[in-house]
Structure 1
Amino acid sequence: MSVPNRAALAEEYAKRVSIDELVRRFGIHRTTVHRLAAQAGVAVRRRGLDEPGRQEATRLYEQGMTLEEVAAELGVGDPTVRSAVVACGGTIRSRGRRPATI
């Protein structure tokens, strides 16, 4: 990977762009994302959410955000949000239109 791409990756990682997005954008493995970020001096994020993070993910999802939107907001992958919602007793909505809010 070129030096400018490594710098761009580190910058995006520091801005909390999701690992899945960086993998897609740069065409590298997720472990490579972590390694390059660490080499650039960026603090490596822990994978997953702690208890307050799981509760926040559940709250956002229950307020009507999609799994993808919550994941982007919290800097994690969609499966992490799904697991958090289920762990907190929430129910995953079926795909399709969002329910209308009043």
Structure 2
Amino acid sequence: MSVRTIAVKYGVHRGTIPTFVLRSGGKLRSTGLNNERRASAAILYRDGHTLQEVADRLGIDPKTVRNAVVAEGISPRPRGRRPMAI
């Protein structure tokens, strides 16, 4: 379950959940992508795939793809636009 889902279910602030998980000896999921997957996402996007297509291919959220693209120094295209073939 996501931190947000747990927080809503128990009526606590989302910042409280990680504290309880760590205190009880649990581990938190890492967020985002490692360097290799971030680079792969950026390459696919640069090659003309949409954020959604890259997300579907890598099994991640489109927002994660967008964050990876930006982190790799690529400006996101306007919504609904693909690069023009030369």
TM-score by length of 1: 0.53
CA RMSD of aligned residues (A): 1.9
Consecutive unaligned residues in structure 1, runs of 5 or more: 1-30, 33-44
TM-score by length of 2: 0.62
Q: 1:62 aligns with which of 37, 42, 46?
A: 46
Which AA in structure 2 matches 1:85? Answer: V
Q: Give the Cα–Cα distance (whole angstroms) in 2 for the partners of residues 94 and 69 of structure 1.
A: 15
* Residues 54, 84 of structure 1: 8 Å contact kept: yes
Greater Rg, structure 1 or structure 2? 2
Bigger relative contact order, structure 1 or 2 (CA pairs below 8 A, ≥6 apart): 1
Q: How many residues align?
A: 60
4+ aligned runs moved over 4 Å, structure 1 = none
* Larger helix share, 1 or 2: 1
Over the matched positions of the two proteins, sequence identity in percent amounts to 50
